[in-house]
Amino acid sequence: MKDNFCKIFRDNIKRDGAENLLKWLEKSDFFTAPASTRFHGTHEGGLVEHSINVYERLKHQLEHSMLNGKYSDETIAIVGLLHDICKVNFYKKDLRNVKVDGVWIQKEIWTIDEKVPIGHSEKSIILIQKFMDLTMDEIYAIRAHMGSWDDSAHGKGNIIGGCFEKCPLAVYTHIADTEATYILEEREK
């Protein structure tokens, strides 16, 4: 998965600072972290797998839509591959007691260890922009990728809907993220 991610990244993302961002990811737990603690990709390497899945679904959707050719390969790769880098150094392994066949055992699990609680999508945008500039469409797409699962969708504002109205890429990114999460990736049983 790491080699595949790095190839897609290097083949498509040429923006100033991109190589430094990739080096940062390689030094982090990005390639070994799970995508979540219980919803999808709960295994080691789940985050990189999810990122590639979202990229591939987003690319496929855009190629087969009325938006074919509207967004560059670079934008598609940035949004698809990097939308969840907020999860870098976000999880840690822990132990939990569980009953298996009537016997209590300790099971290794992933737990959340958020050190920078500034918002899911917002954190991804900030982390990316520490290394390279994003276009407004890339910002809208990353910001709204969680759709109604985003905490802000339940407040009085219309942040997610506003992103969707301004940027079709945001809608397609949310759909790609949803397909990857609920159709392509294993859920904890």
Question: Is residue 83 domain-resident?
Answer: yes
Rounded to 5 degrees, φ, ψ at 111 are -125, 165
Q: Count the Cβ atoms, other than its own, within 10 Å of residue 40.
A: 21
pLDDT digits (tens, 9 = 90+) for 22-36: 999 999 999 998 888
The total number of structural domains in the chain stands at: 1
- Containing structural domain, residue 59: 2-184
Give 171's contacts (C-beta < 8 A, 6+ positions apart).
144, 164
Predicted confidence at residue 157, as pLDDT, reads: 60
- pLDDT for res 93: 84
* Residue of 93, 76, 79, 74 lying closest to 33 (CA atoms): 93
User: Does 10 map to a domain?
Assistant: yes
Q: What is the reported pTM? A: 0.88
19: confidence class by pLDDT, cuts 50, 70, 90: very high
The verdict on residue 111 lying in a domain is yes
**127 assigned to some structural domain:** yes
Domain assignment present for residue 189? The answer is no
Tell me the angle at which helices 159-166 and 136-143 cross, rounded to the nearest 10 degrees. 140
Q: Is 47 inside any structural domain?
A: yes
Q: Is residue 13 part of a domain?
A: yes
Band the pLDDT of 79: cuts 50, 70, 90: very high
